[in-house]
């Protein structure tokens, strides 16, 4: 089952780590953005996934499937200065929860490959 309470708790922890009283401070390539990526990687540690960063800085998390077909879920951890605490990161952490569910449901071998993408520097793209 999907666990929205866990996702909300992770989002609240991300806010605690990367925001201040003015809002989210996860501007791409800054220390808070790197802290957000590190937190995401902590959450991925228990999953049988690979995580690779491409030359543009996008993080590709892959849960290999039986077929070559792929399902992509995307979002972004970066924010504008003083941004909304859920902007973009909600998609990333909801996608993480989907990865967990698919991994459990199919015992680590889903029928299709599932990829979670954290697009880097979404606001400057």
What pLDDT score does 33 carry?
Answer: 98
Beta strands in 29-80 (DSSP E): 50-53, 59-63, 70-75
pLDDT at residue 123 is higher than 80: no
What pLDDT score does 83 carry?
Answer: 95
Per this entry, what is the length of the chain?
125
What pLDDT score does 101 carry?
Answer: 98
pLDDT at residue 11 is higher than 80: yes
Helix or strand or coil: residue 20? Answer: strand
Q: Rg (Cα) of the chain, in Å, rounded?
A: 14
pLDDT at residue 125 is higher than 70: no
**Domains of the chain by residue range:** 4-118
pLDDT at residue 20 is higher than 70: yes
CATH architecture of 4-118: 3-Layer(aba) Sandwich (3.40)
Task: Encode pLDDT of 105-120 as tens digits.
Answer: 999 999 999 999 999 9
Task: Encode pLDDT of 37-89 as tens digits.
Answer: 999 999 999 999 999 999 999 999 999 999 999 999 999 999 999 999 998 89
pTM for this entry: 0.95
- The closest alpha carbon to 117, from 101, 94, 83, 100, belongs to 94
């Amino acid at each position: 089952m999907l666990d929205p309470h866990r996702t909300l708790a992770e989002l609240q922890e991300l806010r605690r780590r990367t925001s201040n009283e003015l809002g989210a401070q996860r501007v791409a390539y800054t220390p808070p953005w790197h802290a957000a990526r590190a937190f995401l990687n902590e959450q991925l540690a228990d999953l049988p996934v690979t995580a690779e960063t491409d030359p543009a800085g996008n993080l590709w998390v892959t849960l290999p499937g039986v077929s070559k077909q792929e399902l992509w879920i995307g979002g972004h951890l970066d924010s504008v200065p003083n941004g909304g605490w859920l902007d973009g990161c909600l998609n990333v952490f909801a996608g993480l929860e989907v990865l967990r569910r698919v991994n459990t449901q199919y015992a680590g071998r889903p029928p299709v490959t599932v990829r979670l993408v954290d697009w880097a520097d979404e606001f400057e793209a």
